[in-house]
Structure 1
Amino acid sequence: MTLRRLATVLTVVAALVAPATAATAVRRLDPDAAFLRTAHQGNLAQIALGRITARKATSPALRRLGARFAADSARLDQAVRATAQRLDVPLDPEPNSTVAQSVMVYRSTPDAEFDQLFVSSQTMLHERAARVVRAELTDGDEAAVRQLARRALAVVRGHRASLGHFGQ
Structure 2
Amino acid sequence: MRRTALRPELAAAAGALLLAVAVSACGSTGPSASALDSSFLKTVHQGNLAEIAAGKDAQRKATGACTQKVGEVLVRDHTALDAGAEKLAAQLHITLPKGPTTAQQQQLAQIDEHAGTPAYDAQWLAAEAAGHQDTLTLIDHEITAGRDPKVTAAARQARPVVARHLSLLRSCLASASPSASPGVSSSSPGRNQ
TM-score of the superposition, structure 1-length normalised? 0.82
Shift of 1:14: 5.9
- Structure 1: which amino acid aligns with 2:108? V
Describe how 1:11-160 pairs up with structure 2 within 5 A. Answer: 12-13=6-7, 16=10, 30-112=35-117, 113-160=119-166
Q: What SS does the aligned partner of 2:147 have?
A: coil
Which residue of the partner structure matches residue 26 of structure 2?
none
Q: Percent identity?
A: 27
Structure 1 stretches of 4+ with a deviation exceeding 4 A read: 14-18
Residue by residue over 1:109-132, the C-alpha shift from the partner in whole angstroms, topping out at 9 and shown as x without a partner, is: 243211101111111101100000
Unaligned runs of 5+ in 1: 1-6, 19-28
Shift of 1:30: 1.3
Residue by residue over 1:45-92, the C-alpha shift from the partner in whole angstroms, topping out at 9 and shown as x without a partner, is: 101001100111101121011011111111111111100000001101
Alpha-carbon contact 1:8-1:105 (below 8 Å) kept = no
Instruction: Determine the C-alpha separation between the residues in 2 that align with 1:103 and 1:110.
Output: 11
- Structure 1: which amino acid aligns with 2:167? A
Shift of 1:16: 4.2
Give RMSD over aligned pairs: 2.0
Count residues with an aligned counterpart: 152
Unaligned runs of 5+ in 2: 13-33, 175-180, 182-193
Do the aligned partners of residues 15 and 80 (structure 1) sit closer, same or farther apart at CA in structure 2, a change above 3 Å counting?
closer
Q: What SS does the aligned partner of 1:151 have?
A: helix
TM-score of the superposition, structure 2-length normalised? 0.72
Bigger CA drift: 129-138 or 89-98? 89-98
Instruction: Identify the structure with bigger relative contact order (alpha carbons < 8 Å, sequence gap 6+).
Output: 2
